[in-house]
Structure 1
Amino acid sequence: MPDVRGILLPAYVVADESGSMSACYQELTDGLTSLFETLRGEPMIAAKLRLAVLGFSDDVEVRLPLSDVRYEERPPTLSIRGATSYAAAFSDLLGRIPVDVAMLKADGYKVHRPVVFFLSDGQPTDRRDRDWQDPRSRLVDRDHTPAAPNIVAIGAGGADAQTILAVATRPEFGFVAVPGADLGRAISEFFQMLTASLVATGQAMASGNPEIVVRKPDPEHFRLAIDVV
């Protein structure tokens, strides 16, 4: 049996690029830059991760395919465009994640269950709820998708708590912005939470005690979606 090259965690940042995100484009750009600089500054942690960045609106654009960020010269950038199709996002992940995991295994790695960090500032614009709920259900069904990911869902702006809960794979993985929270500040807080979560998860993997660590965002800007009434 060939030697195992290591154990990796595939992590996907799936970010809303719809027109309503235009007011916080700078925060999106700054957040991705900070994420990359932090991971590149922690090469032992970054070595445990493979990161992809996907932007979704009417469709999905790959801003960064699953990559080792230690060898990426510059962070990806998002582009503001179109509507908010959750169906596009989950249909893309449904096809993408199994292929990515198979590729990593073929390269000699063991692979932890992937994690998706899903960010949206509004309701899906898909014509019917089932249009996005069906691919999302197939994505997280471990019988249908053996590499089914954990999904951490963050709703900023006008995102609905029940929708965010329906996206997240656990109630404690769903967060929505506090009413009246500034959208730009909320986006910045999302990236701080994302960065802290990936660093903590990488540290856990490096210590030989692998687990998904989800850092709660600042309660000044976010709360658990289940707490919103």
Structure 2
Amino acid sequence: MADTSRGILLPVYVLADESFSMNPQRDELNAGLIALHESLRAEPMIAAKVRLAVLGFSDDVKVRLPLADVRSERHLPQLTMRGGTSYEAVFNDLLVRIPHDVSALKNDGYKVHRPAVFFLSDGQPTDDDDDAWQVPHRRLIDRAVTPPAPNIIACGIGDAEPRTILEVATNPNFAFVSVPGADLGRSIAQFFNALTASVVESGRAMASGNPELRIERPDTFNMAIDYV
């Protein structure tokens, strides 16, 4: 039987910490989103293989951009700083959002690569206890519970602890922390540079017919596993 699919897509979720502690870096965060958008629009054949969502999290999750084809988006949204740093809100949201999005793409006739979540935080979770976020996190990454369980690439800056970033990432090779004392604005710029390179290279792999997730480590970031 002939393959009637419309091709394979990579869903990418950018999860940016919008807690008040990130307010001094708001301009760098929004500049990073602009650069990501411009890079993808400059390579439409690659952008065609990617669907991008932008989510901001603090005490809850705000959808800044639902999963979309960025070729049809004139501008990416602005992030707004507010509240605390609830990891529980993040993973409870993704438990619902990712299966829904993947199902919608399949219903539209696409094959779907395992989604990628790029997670950026500058601090420790403000949830009441670790179980509050670790329980939904475990359900999210368990492929028996959540078949489209994502790959999570976690980056920590500022007060984020390597141990926590390592727990968030789905692979030790996907967990990065900025060097101690690094300028936060520069670290955010490096995160978005690596994010952009990862998405472009992964999109290129999709377009070549050899779909795979390709991850670039941000410059001057270290592997979180090296600290524990």
The bucket for the TM-score relative to the shorter chain is over 0.9
| 1:20-99 equivalence runs, <5 A | 20-99=21-100
Q: Could you tell me which residue of structure 2 aligns to residue 225 of structure 1? A: 224
SS in 2 for 1:147: coil
Q: Which letter maps to 2:208?
A: S
- In 2, the alpha carbon distance for the partners of 1:162 and 1:198 equals 26
Q: Could you tell me which residue of structure 1 aligns to residue 129 of structure 2? A: 128
SS in 2 for 1:143: coil
Deviation track 1:105-152 (CA, whole Å, cap 9, x = no partner) reads 000000010000000000000001000000000000000000000000
Q: Could you tell me which residue of structure 2 aligns to residue 10 of structure 1? A: 11
Q: Could you tell me which residue of structure 1 aligns to residue 106 of structure 2? A: 105
Q: How far did residue 209 of structure 1 move? A: 1.2
Query: What fraction of aligned residue pairs are identical, expressed as a percent?
Result: 65
- In 1, the alpha carbon distance for the partners of 2:74 and 2:208 equals 28
Alignment RMSD (CA, Å): 0.9
Q: Which letter maps to 1:227?
A: D
- In 1, the alpha carbon distance for the partners of 2:209 and 2:8 equals 10
Q: Which letter maps to 1:159?
A: A
Q: Could you tell me which residue of structure 1 aligns to residue 202 of structure 2? A: 201
Deviation track 1:22-57 (CA, whole Å, cap 9, x = no partner) reads 010010010000000000111000000000000000
Gaps in structure 2 of 5+ consecutive residues: none
- In 1, the alpha carbon distance for the partners of 2:227 and 2:35 equals 30
- In 2, the alpha carbon distance for the partners of 1:207 and 1:5 equals 15
Q: How far did residue 18 of structure 1 move? A: 0.1
Q: How far did residue 210 of structure 1 move? A: 1.0
Q: Which letter maps to 1:166?
A: E
The total of aligned residue pairs comes to: 227
Q: Could you tell me which residue of structure 1 aligns to residue 214 of structure 2? A: 213
SS in 1 for 2:98: helix
Gaps in structure 1 of 5+ consecutive residues: none
- In 2, the alpha carbon distance for the partners of 1:109 and 1:207 equals 16
Q: How far did residue 206 of structure 1 move? A: 1.1
Q: How far did residue 217 of structure 1 move? A: 1.1
Moved over 2 A (4+): none
The answer as to 2:174 corresponding to 1:169 is no
SS in 2 for 1:87: helix
